[in-house]
Amino acid sequence: MSLLPLLAACGTDAGSESHSADGEKTTAGSSGQLDVPADSNADLKKQYLLENAIAACMKKQGFTYTPVAPENAADSWATAGADYALTKKYRQKYGFGIYAGIVYPDDAGARGGAAARRDQVETPNSSYVKTLTPEQKSAYNKALGGPPDPKAGEKDWTGCVGEANKKVYGSASAEERSTTSENQNRANAQALNGDPKLVALAQTYASCLKKEGIPVTTTQPTGIGEMVKLQAIGSAQAGPPVVAEGNTQKSLSKEEALPLLTNDIELAMRDLECGKEFRAAYFPKFMKTPTNGGGAG
């Protein structure tokens, strides 16, 4: 299991609610515990149990911690290529999302998928921490705990996070689980990149992009799906949302960003259509053997 989701969930700015793909909020009930969805896979179920365990531990320490509903990985990919119809709808308005936030500043969707769903200025946990004195806040952070510090020779999470980890994941240390996760991630990537059908479809995808005049820098199944998007971000004019102007920084105006968004939408749609058959074959396999940084958005 990756440590990154835990870092996000356990920080003092973590919220108590998440949003499903259709925008519905998921919050802790009156008991202070999250209900685990019946259709959760083993991995997602453990993430729910982890949050509930942290909340229970913090309560024993005399603090309030509102458990954060974890996001289903499958939902996070819905508008990033896994669901063609939803991805098409998203790209027709926002393109790759590079300039959308400037053109639609009040549109949460313009900030992009999972990031938009987690974009909460004020959350129950951060609000709670603000009510504490400096001494209480220090005690809260100590009770909550955090990731291991390799420099200090630590191999496991501390505080309630560490206790919850042991309760849910067993005796294996965070370091051991991270190594296992990295090895599995590498093996999954090798399997996807060695799949004959995906390799053939990636080649067809690449040929289509070339005909559209779009540079192709990789034909690996785990890389080609996001290749055009990453290239667009890397070469973005004024790299959103700020451009250098002498010794000052100037944000792009809506008027300046609008034609750039139009071009971004056109590029994103050409990429989507070229990769339609590839993504249809790739994502079902990717969901079964996911690999970090190897999506096909």
Q: Is residue 243's pLDDT more than 50?
A: no
Report the pLDDT averaged over residues 27-43: 78
Q: What is the pLDDT of residue 297?
A: 52
**What does the alpha-carbon distance between residue 184 and residue 289 come to, in Å, rounded to a whole number?**
9
The 3-class SS string of 266-296 reads HHHHHHHHHCHHHHHHHHHHHHHCCCCCCCC
Torsion region of 170: left, alpha or beta (phi above 0 gives left; psi -120 to 50 gives alpha): left
- Per-residue pLDDT reduced to its tens digit, 49-77: 999 999 999 999 999 999 988 888 778 78
Distance of CA 277 to the CA centre of its chain: 24
| Closest to 192 (Cα-Cα) out of 296, 58, 47, 78 | 296
pTM: 0.71
Contact criterion met (CB below 8 Å) for 140 and 14: no
What is the percent of the chain with per-residue pLDDT over 90, rounded to a whole number? 54
**What does the alpha-carbon distance between residue 161 and residue 172 come to, in Å, rounded to a whole number?**
14
3-state SS class at 252:
coil
Least-confidence region, from 22-26, 127-131, 202-206, 217-221: 22-26
**What does the alpha-carbon distance between residue 20 and residue 40 come to, in Å, rounded to a whole number?**
13
Q: What is the rounded (10 degree) CA torsion for 39, 45, 47, 50? A: 140
Please provide the distance, in angstroms rounded to a whole number, between the alpha carbons at the two ends of the chain.
22
Contact criterion met (CB below 8 Å) for 271 and 214: yes
The answer, yes or no, to whether the previous bond of 240 is cis (omega within 30 of 0) is: no
